[in-house]
Structure 1
Amino acid sequence: MKILVAATFAALISQPVFATEVIDNPLTDTGSWTELREDLIGDVTLADGATLFTVDAPYRAHDAATVPIVIRQTDLTAAPITSAMVVIDENPAPMAADMTFGPAMAPLNFELRVRVNQYSNVRVIATTTDGDFMNGRFVKASGGCSAPATKDPSLALNSMGQMRLKHFGDTPQMSTPRREAQIMIRHPNYSGLQRDQITQLFISAHFIDKLEVFQGDEMLFTLEGGISVSENPVFRFDYTDNGDPAFRVRAQDTEGNVFEQTLPKNAQS
């Protein structure tokens, strides 16, 4: 059983998750945003984010339960993005993730996987010292929040909290310290809308709601999440290596479980 878990874990983290192109699926004017806006951000003025950053997402999702969303700052002369909120307008809980980023994450190139429950705008509200900006994509997907978990519940709970770090490319020279990393955390991230496949009863919501990632004592990013972050969350990102040999990752879920792990940067994945 342990061999099966390890093999499955390795296969999941090795899957490429960065989107390879920007698809012409801009935000639409329809949907729930007008009602959501006041609850989520109040009367904050939002500038057009298209000149500051891109949001890559598939027009038609291959798997509604694991939709890749890539946020990439493209204007390198502008102030860096220090925080971002991912909103999926038509999801039962639209606020998918509220994130903050340390200086080492600039310029931002960050991916996470989310659930999309029905055709919806997926928007990113990014903040810099110059103000707040919005950009996003329209995604055709359905059933992501109620899609059955991919693993047996007992197996999912037994492996909950396991973490894996993967780097891409060679260890950088001191003159070029930018690196690309991926962190995966095993957790079923139950949405509360899924049914047990045997009893057909709803599984209670149980998901990671807080995440902190550091290199040494330097914060890379933090995240407050909801039910829309996918099962076994994966985060892929660029960062400036400060020379510390390891990441420190701390995750907390809605049942009060805390998972902490030190992940050596140059260990074999």
Structure 2
Amino acid sequence: MPGYLFRLLGVAGLLLFGAPLTLAATPDPWPGLVQDIFNNRPMNDGSDVIAIEMPSRAEDAAVVPVTLRTKLSPGDSRKVLNITLVIDQNPAPMAAKFQLGPDAKVSEISTRVRVNNYTDVHAVAELSDGKLYMTKTYVKASGGCSAPAAKNADEAKSRLGQMRYRQFGKAGEGPANGAREAQIMIGHPNNSGLQMDQVTHLYVPAFFVNELRLWQDDSLVLTMEGGISISEDPNIRFTYVSNGAKNFRAEAKDTEGHVFQREWKIDDSGI
């Protein structure tokens, strides 16, 4: 397990058990995260490469919307290979890593995350030039990783692995240029390991979706390596370019070894 996870789990324990810890006394974790997650690779200004959008103050710290958007100009020959989402002050800061399919031209990804404390949130894009580009935002929220599950254990178990696919029209775009916007929803408790059972008062073991793969026919659209910061019932919405495929396929795996698979017909209308 990476060193940053041990260090920040210790911080989370202090918060949970009432030790007096203030933000002013907390050192900036980002330099250590650059070392542990990115092997100290140089970080370049990503303001013209990647954008991150989140509410400045979260209404519900357990379900905070986040959108990642690529910003490369049409004439730029570089490609975004992957995007890593890091929530600096979370017990396990690396929330997700999205690998983009080489031909899917994914330009936008939205999901929902848990935020455990007031924090910087970084988006780091790796480009085909071999460099890393970073941007960040600041979110005011607390307690998202330890917030009780919205569904009871029996309900969560009955929905485990159920997947839904939705396809949307995108304003100003459509089948003529191949642009598509779609959404995958997975029924899963995504337990963080920091939530307490309201009946037994014992901590619920961590249990979450750690891998998701999406294809149009046999062409990869994107993959997600997920962690405990992804909210209950993972929900991924994304924009990509269709290759004319007739089917969309998803495969998800969780930390207990379950494998969930589903395939859908793609609506030719693009909506």
TM-score, structure 2 as length reference? 0.84
Conserved in 2, the CA contact under 8 Å of 1:80 and 1:108? no
Name 1:50's counterpart in structure 2: 47
> Is 1:230 aligned to residue 243 of structure 2?
no
Deviation of 1:107 after TM superposition, in Å, equals 5.1
The percent identity for this pair of structures is 42
Name 1:249's counterpart in structure 2: 250
Deviation of 1:172 after TM superposition, in Å, equals 3.8
CA offsets 1:82-104 (integer angstroms, 9 cap, x no match): 10111111100011111200134
Q: Distance in 2 between matches of 1:80 and 1:188?
A: 34
- Structure-2 change in CA distance of 1:181 and 1:104 (3 Å): farther
Q: Distance in 2 between matches of 1:260 and 1:107?
A: 22
Q: How does 1:86-235 map to 2 (within 5 A)?
A: 86-106=85-105, 108-130=107-129, 131-169=131-169, 172-173=174-175, 175-235=176-236
Deviates more, 1:146-155 or 1:241-250: 241-250
Conserved in 1, the CA contact under 8 Å of 2:34 and 2:41? no
Conserved in 2, the CA contact under 8 Å of 1:211 and 1:224? yes
Q: Distance in 1 between matches of 2:229 and 2:122?
A: 13
Name 1:266's counterpart in structure 2: 267
- Structure-2 change in CA distance of 1:105 and 1:111 (3 Å): farther
1:56 partner letter: E
Deviation of 1:254 after TM superposition, in Å, equals 0.3
Deviation of 1:265 after TM superposition, in Å, equals 2.2
Conserved in 2, the CA contact under 8 Å of 1:164 and 1:263? no
What count of residue pairs does the alignment treat as equivalent? 238
Runs of 4+ in 1 over 4 A off after TM superposition: none
Q: Distance in 2 between matches of 1:158 and 1:80?
A: 41
TM-score, structure 1 as length reference? 0.84
SS state at 2:251 partner: strand
Conserved in 1, the CA contact under 8 Å of 2:106 and 2:238? no
1:236 partner letter: R
Q: Distance in 1 between matches of 2:265 and 2:157?
A: 25
SS state at 1:51 partner: coil
Unaligned 5+ segments in structure 1 are 1-29
Q: Distance in 1 between matches of 2:28 and 2:245?
A: 45
CA offsets 1:158-187 (integer angstroms, 9 cap, x no match): 1110111111128943x3210111111110
Name 2:67's counterpart in structure 1: 70
Conserved in 2, the CA contact under 8 Å of 1:124 and 1:136? yes
CA offsets 1:112-158 (integer angstroms, 9 cap, x no match): 11110000111011011122100111111101100110011111011
2:147 partner letter: A
Deviates more, 1:66-75 or 1:199-208: 66-75
SS state at 1:213 partner: strand
CA offsets 1:192-236 (integer angstroms, 9 cap, x no match): 001111111111100001111111100000111110011001111
Conserved in 1, the CA contact under 8 Å of 2:106 and 2:221? no
Conserved in 2, the CA contact under 8 Å of 1:31 and 1:120? no
Unaligned 5+ segments in structure 2 are 1-26
SS state at 2:160 partner: coil
